[in-house]
Amino acid sequence: MRVAFLFVLLFGAVFYTYVAFFDLSFLSRTGRLGPGFFPRITGVFAVSLITWVIADTLRDKRAEESPSSRWGDVAPLILFAVGYAVLLRIFGGFFATLVFLAVTLTILNRGKKLQNAILSVVIPTLIYLLFDKLLNVNMPPALFVLPI
């Protein structure tokens, strides 16, 4: 079942990459980076990573014996994703991502409080710096601006 899921993910990643390369321009008319720049990078990265995971899974015979106890994490993650969408609209990208990562990592990475706290702060900060400062693309706006 895991291998089938990974092949579906690979199909989606290949389609995403196809659209990024053939429907989105790499540069804009003014010579600046266009709408296809970032999707091309993420598409190639996703295809490469998923292909690697499939090869690793096919090599590992124990992969089919995965525990079914992880299904208990699916419902909370769906709830967190919906909560993230709501927070994204109300408080904006930085704060919503920080809260989402903090809550999700607390559930999935139990017992590693310092690591979870560092990741919850560093990842949204890097995303903010990448998009807002380097690529000059604003994070999703908020209805209520927080004094951060």
User: For every one of its 148 residues, what pLDDT tens digit does the chain have, with 9 covering 90 and above?
Assistant: 778 888 899 999 999 888 888 887 777 777 777 777 788 889 999 999 999 998 888 887 654 555 565 667 777 888 888 988 888 888 888 888 899 999 988 888 888 899 999 999 999 899 888 888 887 777 777 777 666 5
- CA-to-CA dists, residue 79 to 5, 7, 103, 116, 121, angstroms: 21, 26, 11, 19, 21
| pTM beyond 0.75 | no
Query: Is residue 43 a contact partner of residue 16, using CB atoms and an 8 Å limit?
Result: yes
pLDDT for 69 equals: 58
Residue 71 CB contacts under 8 Å (≥ 6 apart), including other chains: none
Strand partners, 27: 33
First to last CA, the chain: 44
Q: What amino acid is encoded at 64 in this protein?
A: E
Q: How far is 91 from 138, CA to CA, in rounded Å?
A: 14
